[in-house]
With several copies, the nearest count.
Chain A
């Protein structure tokens, strides 16, 4: 296939107008010894039908999908309307809305996304998206550090371990220090924060529901709220299962200053892990410190309300090395999808959350009856961890759940399960049958 459109007559005419005799003359500024005749080692071109068949055969190998798997990416039903809208050329073949006069479609949808995220997190400002949950956490920490001018951050061991790894990569590069807050049961030991917190410390990072699915209560009787006040700590509140925002108490009510994480649950499939939909929401004081694009309301020369990119003086293309981040392209169309998704679910979002909770609770109860044992009883949303029981459950063999052992040696004999509205009671019962029949134990 080719997607170019010049025939030989065109080429001749154009070269003549340019004043050269052949195309290679246009490459005269390149070191001539590196010009290639033809790239080596690439497969011969194929037709559209052939690549279709090739990819179909690759995709089939992926058919048997693992069950009850969350751990940062969540299977949710995506209403058909989401892709119907997002697959309109007007949305997906445009770019960053630099020219607001011909971009009100994207601008409005992303402004809606910003609004939705602010409402659900209780924050004042949300950017137009980040790459994913992990980098949004890293950038949130850097934003907080820029703001507080303190270079140490305390991160709960209950935060997604991959996010913590990404954070350390970024922190290493930027020269920030990261210390870990230990667990108490399956939630953060907030009482340990005091000891860890020194004058360099600017922020505390938690995740809720945390990596084990448990709901964190930073506001509970640990003295954390007072300490946060006293030390002017930023509470960075990470969310990986955005659907929980529709059902649980909001991060703002929990004392969050910055909310960041992953909003893939809002209308995007898990897609082997990418693209995802990172976001940062924050209190108003971060408005001029937040990374990435922001859409704002303004007027046009006829006085009508319109939307436009705004506060660009934060960004790399204006501020360069002093920018709030280097981010440029983001996850635009996923933000549009999230807006459509949230408009489709609308006031039923909480009910959907409730269904997730019921389904996961049923799965948990069923697993307990099938030989798994409880680690602790913290409340959860749609994800939870259990001890496998003495004979040893093999999550790989069972094709179900996430084995946390690699990241948490102390939980080597445990499995993290997730259930969403896509898991029916029937599929749970079938799975439990399989477990009871013993075929999925080591």
Chain B
């Protein structure tokens, strides 16, 4: 373990603060503090070496396949990064006048238009700063809607396969949660659902395709059931990569949805973020969208906040602009044909990898997948689980799949190769998986003790939580 605080020694830092040549305005000592001892004293070269060497301990997409299911770890074009670091955008102050930000406003406006075309929806807000924030916003829209209609609907239905952010977002808006179970085939259990929908049902959230990588075959039926009951249908579009350019969420029957720009529309994931989670809605919901909104009048763009039915503000400024910019670039580069090629290739890649693995690994839901699929450790020698397999994968230079999610499949390994892997890499990954299976039977210790070749050995996460040490002392 290397940490910058350990490299500190008095007098090494020589960061030059420009000299102030004017009058010295003293601030009373009652207001000021002294932080110089709290910060490490290191030189620029030490800083660079520290982080360059640390970086070598990270796995990244630019190195090899990163099949982290549900996260769409695709390769992101380098032109995105170049344009998103243009000072003409990065130095633009959010409170500057609209006249000096016409370029930025136009990008926002046009991206919203593109996303409408892509989703078939009638209104889009880009403001949410991540998928989860989009969900929260979407659920707020549902709340607002029933507040306005005067209906007292207090429940939202979510399948048991849902991503954790769905129930959490629902809870943050004070809704009650009903969980509907999935069939063994991975669809929503329509029978159970029927029994759940009632006058308290504000809506239902469904991920499409689901976190199982499967498209719900009753989607239109579900939409109809909800709509017949006056309930709203929310689509979690985190998996949009599976249907991009191929089918639109509006046509599936959703009223509200969010997208994860950082996944589908190519923002590198930054070790955890930032992202953007635009929300798209049908006509009747447009009026509730948060502010500010970008409006175009006579060729001029401006921010407007005066919308009586809006849920209000949800961000300090206007959301994660630099992420919009990347999505904008990506859509312009690919066009309609390129976007469709994304989903077709993502689905083809996933099915091919599934075909290579399905006879070697347990395949709990035996349906062709969309952009990702689930296998698990069933059939492995006892004691060797998904956890060990995933660590052993690291030894072979790949990232591990998403593990132990979704919860409806025991010891799930959710594999999403994305469209930017070539056939040879998929085959190499399959070979690794098959090798690990063999090892599990022939030399189990090597799997149990994995990883062996990584920058550190297996981290003790239980210990980390038992006595949390959350800062350096």
Contact = CB atoms under 8 A, between A and B. Distances in A.
With most chain A CB atoms within 10 A of its CB, the pick from B14, B90, B272 is B272
A429 B165 CA distance: 52
B197 interface: no
A336 B52 CA distance: 13
A52 B136 contact: no
A300 B456 contact: yes
B442 interface: no
A-B pairs, 8 with minimum CB distance: A273-B317, A59-B88, A332-B272, A273-B94, A45-B335, A7-B11, A333-B270, A58-B103
Given A52-B83, A94-B269, A249 B31 contact: yes
A294 B468 contact: yes
A297 to B, nearest CB: 4
B309 interface: no
B324 to A, nearest CB: 8
Nearest to B107: A58
Contacts of A270: 90-94
B465 A296 contact: yes
A355 interface: yes
Interface stretch (A130-138, A182-190, A193-201, A385-393): A130-138
With most chain B CB atoms within 10 A of its CB, the pick from A35, A101, A396 is A101
A18 B352 contact: yes
A28 B369 CA distance: 10
Contact of A135 (B19, B129, B245, B402): B129
Given A36-B248, A104-B58, A310-B461, A3 B90 contact: no
A227 interface: no
A9 to B, nearest CB: 8
A321 B88 contact: no
Contact of A102 (B94, B344, B454): B454
Interface in B62-102: 62-63, 66, 68, 71, 73-79, 81-83, 85-97, 100-102
B349 to A, nearest CB: 8
Contact of A173 (B83, B172, B332, B338): B172
A169 B136 CA distance: 11
Contacts of A160: 316
A226 interface: no
Contacts of B32: 247-249
A63 B177 CA distance: 49
Contact of A132 (B101, B269, B311, B317): B317
Nearest to A324: B168
Contacts of A435: none
Interface residues of A, number: 205
Contact of A276 (B61, B95, B130, B316): B316
A215 interface: yes
A3 B130 contact: no
Contacts of B318: 272-274
B192 interface: no
A60 to B, nearest CB: 6
Interface in B304-321: 311-321
Interface in B146-173: 163-165, 167-173
Contacts of B338: 1-2, 45
Interface stretch (B227-235, B416-424, B432-440): B416-424
Contacts of B173: 173-174
17 contacts: A3-B44, A3-B420, A30-B243, A44-B335, A51-B79, A61-B102, A96-B271, A105-B56, A111-B472, A270-B90, A274-B319, A274-B321, A327-B132, A332-B269, A333-B274, A347-B39, A362-B23
A225 B418 CA distance: 56
B427 to A, nearest CB: 10
Nearest to A318: B164
Contact of A114 (B174, B323, B471): B471
A160 B25 CA distance: 26
A90 B58 contact: yes
B404 to A, nearest CB: 9
A97 B272 contact: yes
Interface stretch (B1-9, B279-287, B376-384): B1-9
A123 B24 CA distance: 31
A150 to B, nearest CB: 16
B472 A93 contact: no
Interface string B369-407: 010000000000000000000110010000110100100
A47 interface: yes
Contacts of B85: 83, 87
Contact residues on B (Cβ < 8 Å of other chain), bracket:
35 or more
Contacts of B164: 315-320, 323, 326, 328
B58 A102 contact: yes
Given A66-B96, A131-B130, 17 more contacts: A5-B422, A31-B247, A71-B95, A87-B85, A92-B270, A111-B471, A132-B315, A133-B316, A173-B139, A274-B94, A275-B320, A311-B465, A321-B171, A330-B130, A334-B274, A345-B39, A348-B16
B215 interface: yes
Contacts of B4: 112, 339, 343
A101 B468 contact: no
With most chain B CB atoms within 10 A of its CB, the pick from A34, A302, A336 is A34
A68 B436 CA distance: 60
B220 to A, nearest CB: 5
Interface in B446-473: 449, 451, 454-461, 463-465, 468-472
Contact of A75 (B44, B47, B91, B464): B91
Contacts of A110: 271-272
B394 A173 contact: no
Contacts of A345: 15, 39
Contact of A272 (B89, B248, B459): B89
B56 A90 contact: yes
Given A29-B214, A36-B247, A112 B472 contact: yes
B94 A332 contact: no
Contacts of B262: 329
A344 B47 contact: yes
B93 A23 contact: no
Interface in A114-161: 114-116, 118-120, 124-126, 128-129, 131-135, 142, 160
A60 B104 CA distance: 10
A115 B5 contact: yes
Contacts of A166: 312-316
A315 to B, nearest CB: 7
A409 interface: no
Given A4-B419, A27-B246, A275 B348 contact: no
Nearest to A133: B316
A355 B422 contact: no
Nearest to A312: B465
A359 interface: yes
A174 B172 contact: yes
Contacts of B170: 321
B272 A307 contact: no
B10 A169 contact: no
B47 A343 contact: yes
A437 interface: no
Contacts of B136: 173, 326
